[in-house]
Amino acid sequence: MSGNFNFQHTNTALLSVKSVEAPVVVSSPEFDERLAPSLKRLRLSKGLLERVAGVSERRWWAPGTSFEDGAIEAGAKAMAEAGVEPSQIGLLINTSVTRRNLEPSVAVKIHHNLGLPSSALNFDLANACLGFVNGITMASNMIESGQIDYALIVAGEDSQGVQEATFGRLNREDSTRQDYLREFATLTLGSGAAAAVIGRAADHPGSHRILGGVSRAGTEHHELCVGSEGGMYTDTKGLLEGGLELVVTAWHEAQANGWDWQGMDRYVTHQVSNSYTNAIIKAVDLDRERVPITFPRWGNVGPASLPMTLAQESKTLTPGDRVLCMGVGSGLNTTMMEIAW
Burial class (CB in 10 A: 0-12, 13-18, 19+), 118: exposed
pLDDT higher than threshold 70 for residue 1 = no
Strands 5-8 and 208-217: antiparallel
For the question of residue 225 being annotated catalytic, the response is no
pLDDT higher than threshold 90 for residue 159 = yes
pLDDT higher than threshold 90 for residue 172 = yes
Among 68, 129, 313, 338, the active-site one is 129
Residues 31, 187: contact at Cβ < 8 Å? yes
pTM for this predicted structure = 0.96
The model's confidence at residue 4, banded by pLDDT at 50, 70 and 90, is low
Distance CA 59, CA 297 (A): 8
Distance CA 316, CA 202 (A): 24
Residue-level pLDDT at 227: 85
Segment 76-85 mean pLDDT: 98
Write out pLDDT tens, residues 266-311: 999 999 999 999 999 999 999 999 999 999 999 999 999 999 999 9
| Integer-rounded Cα radius of gyration of the chain | 19
pLDDT higher than threshold 90 for residue 15 = yes
| Maximum alpha-carbon separation in the chain | 63
Write out pLDDT tens, residues 101-123: 999 999 999 999 999 999 999 99
Write out pLDDT tens, residues 195-214: 999 999 999 999 999 999 99
Residues 17, 317: contact at Cβ < 8 Å? no
More confident residue, 325 or 224: 325
Residue-level pLDDT at 3: 44
Write out pLDDT tens, residues 326-338: 999 999 999 999 9
Residue-level pLDDT at 5: 75
Segment 239-250 mean pLDDT: 92
Distance CA 320, CA 228 (A): 41
For the question of residue 129 being annotated catalytic, the response is yes
The model's confidence at residue 143, banded by pLDDT at 50, 70 and 90, is very high
